[in-house]
Chains A and B, each alone.
Chain A
Amino acid sequence: MTKVFCTGCGVVTPVGNTPEAVFLAVRAGRSALQLYPAQPEPYMASLLSREGFNGPSFFEHIAVEAARKAVAQAGLDPSGPRVGMVLSTIKGNVEQIDSEDVSLAAAAIRIAAKLGVTSKPVVVSNACISGLAALIQGMRMLRSGAYDHVIVVGAEVQSRFIVTGFQSLKALSLQACKPFDAARDGLNLGEAAAAMVLSTQNSLWELVDGAVRNDANHISGPSRTGEGSYNALKYLLPLVNREQLAFVNVHGTATRYNDEMEAIALDRAGLLDVPVNALKGIFGHTMGAAGILESIVSMQACDAGMVLPTQGFSELGVSRPVRVSAQEMPTNGTEFIKLLSGFGGVNGALLFRKGGAR
């Protein structure tokens, strides 16, 4: 099977605008989470500054920014016929639903045009696992033989639409979220954009394989048996070099049910001896960007020989003895698994491996 590599990364986040800066922020526990007074009720979130921006769509603006950075790092000419683009987002321009065409397809076409991409873009909108699903889609496009490079970009901006929705689900915490902690009481929303250029050209980090699996249980409640998450992990296990597995970067939204579900899935997959970390205590749940952003930070950590700390975590609050990293830990591992879950019962897992050419 064709090997797929990451040849460039780009990020736009409230804690930094390069992968290195975001990595350092996570390492230092420097979060951008703060309490916003009204929407109409207060909410804790990690939001980007709109200062100096006056275009039609902030969402498209940050997506283009992140993608441009990734394209520049990869040294890619995006205009060739064998360059593809995948957009990952959940709600895109939804804040303009009363006045504009908020179709995600239309947004993808404008983003592709700004980047100079000439092939037809595709949008993957698979709830909170969209970022991982989009990376998997990019891998598949390369393996089909039709593309040499695929730009995978994920972005999310927050709006009254999303905030009131999560409030109505009683899913938001008013404190900075506490993934896997005994005192966790909900998630925080976040804004970010993150992009990767995937390529058949050899590079340091390889995306080995990934899978998407459904719980087939409930559209908003995570499975009590971790079914889909376990099945996605099970798909990857034969490909994992266990002694090289540095950590599993989990979804870790800090809702009661999600984190418990992931603990059960990790147990069933025989991964309780592997360090686990979650990053949402730094930049919240960045939805369509999360899978790509958290993977980029995890590659940085692995490069630095480190399992990053889980901001907000102090006392284990799930039923299985998961090795959650409260502080940073050294590692010699060269592989990690990224895990996500979302509404609609979807779960995703992707295996990353270091070892290609620099």
Chain B
Amino acid sequence: MKHVSIPSGADLGALYRQVAGDYPKFFKMDVLSKLGFLLTEMLVADETDRFQPREDRAVLVFSREGCVANDRHYAASMADFPSPALFVYTLPNIVAGEIAIRNKYAGETSAYVLEKYDEEQLWALVREAFQDRCTQSAVVAWIDCPSDTVWQADAWLVSREEILK
């Protein structure tokens, strides 16, 4: 299965210009969504029929901290003028939604929070997600970003055959 990662602290704007460049909404995203967006670009860039709408691909995002970095930004804005643009990113699953919107994935999108990166637990959850009859492949991501500059960001593109073999 294909695996990509983004080193902690990397310049995400520069990486965006390198791997995408045609999606200015990127700059409105929180760090979690930016990482998920870029990881997926790296995973699926060379797929044929890339932007054809499809329901058979799931997006499964895992982390410990969810969207806490953005939560802190929103909490800071609460003091005078609460920011709606920050508030909409105060959900750990928005990253999965951003990936679905960009790539026209109409399948399952789910966000899970685990105590730590636990391979056994994470891949058991991925296997279970394939109980959905429709799901033939999935973007699986572990993206844990306690702040805007420190993170673990790994993603895999997996097929039903690879997971259930």
Q: Do A and B come from one complex?
A: yes
- Contact A123/B113 with A94-B71, A103-B64 known, Cβ cut-off 8 Å: yes
CA distance A167 to B101 in the complex (A): 25
Is B75 in contact with A345, judged by CB distance below 8 angstroms?
no
CA distance A137 to B132 in the complex (A): 11
Is A91 in contact with B90, judged by CB distance below 8 angstroms?
yes
Is A123 in contact with B104, judged by CB distance below 8 angstroms?
no
The number of inter-chain residue pairs (CB within 8 angstroms) is: 159
Max chain A C-beta neighbours (<10 A), residue from B103, B104, B132: B132
Is A214 in contact with B100, judged by CB distance below 8 angstroms?
yes
Is B84 in contact with A144, judged by CB distance below 8 angstroms?
no
B6 lies within 8 A of chain A by Cβ: no
Is A216 in contact with B90, judged by CB distance below 8 angstroms?
no
CA distance A347 to B108 in the complex (A): 9
B9 lies within 8 A of chain A by Cβ: no
CA distance A104 to B100 in the complex (A): 24
- Contact A231/B112 with A102-B71, A120-B118, A143-B131 known, Cβ cut-off 8 Å: no
Quote the shortest CB–CB distance from A55 to chain B (angstroms). 22
Chain B proximity mask over A152-189: 1 for CB below 8 Å, otherwise 0: 00000000110011111100000000000000000000
A137 proximity list for chain B (CB < 8 A): 125, 128
Max chain A C-beta neighbours (<10 A), residue from B75, B88, B93, B109: B93
B8 lies within 8 A of chain A by Cβ: no
A106 proximity list for chain B (CB < 8 A): 115
Is A235 in contact with B94, judged by CB distance below 8 angstroms?
no
Quote the shortest CB–CB distance from B157 to chain A (angstroms). 17
Is A214 in contact with B97, judged by CB distance below 8 angstroms?
yes
Chain B proximity mask over A311-348: 1 for CB below 8 Å, otherwise 0: 00000000000000000000000000000001111100
B132 proximity list for chain A (CB < 8 A): 211-212, 235
Q: Which of these binds chain B: A124-132, A260-268, A277-285?
A: A124-132
Chain B residue nearest to A142 (CB atoms) is B128
Which single member of B59, B91, B100, B128 contacts A343 (CB below 8 Å)? B91
Chain B residue nearest to A126 (CB atoms) is B93
Is B91 in contact with A216, judged by CB distance below 8 angstroms?
no
B98 lies within 8 A of chain A by Cβ: yes
Determine the interface band of chain A, counting residues with CB < 8 A from chain B: 35 or more
B2 lies within 8 A of chain A by Cβ: no
Is A343 in contact with B88, judged by CB distance below 8 angstroms?
yes
Quote the shortest CB–CB distance from A97 to chain B (angstroms). 5
Chain B residue nearest to A217 (CB atoms) is B101
Is A98 in contact with B75, judged by CB distance below 8 angstroms?
yes
Determine the interface band of chain B, counting residues with CB < 8 A from chain A: 35 or more
A161 proximity list for chain B (CB < 8 A): 71, 74-75, 78, 90
Which single member of B90, B104, B111, B114 contacts A126 (CB below 8 Å)? B111
CA distance A219 to B109 in the complex (A): 12
A218 lies within 8 A of chain B by Cβ: yes
CA distance A168 to B131 in the complex (A): 38
- Contact A169/B111 with A214-B96, A216-B105, A344-B93 known, Cβ cut-off 8 Å: no
B113 proximity list for chain A (CB < 8 A): 103-105, 108, 122-123, 125
A211 proximity list for chain B (CB < 8 A): 108, 132, 134
B108 proximity list for chain A (CB < 8 A): 211-214
B18 lies within 8 A of chain A by Cβ: no
Is A343 in contact with B84, judged by CB distance below 8 angstroms?
no
B134 proximity list for chain A (CB < 8 A): 211, 235
Which single member of B55, B87, B94, B127 contacts A144 (CB below 8 Å)? B127
B21 lies within 8 A of chain A by Cβ: no
CA distance A93 to B127 in the complex (A): 30
Quote the shortest CB–CB distance from A133 to chain B (angstroms). 6
10 closest pairs, A vs B, by CB?
Answer: A344-B97, A165-B87, A123-B113, A140-B128, A214-B100, A168-B84, A164-B82, A168-B82, A344-B93, A212-B108
- Known contacts A164-B82, A168-B82, then 5 further A-B pairs from the complex at CB < 8 Å, ordered by chain A residue: A120-B115, A125-B92, A217-B101, A346-B93, A346-B97
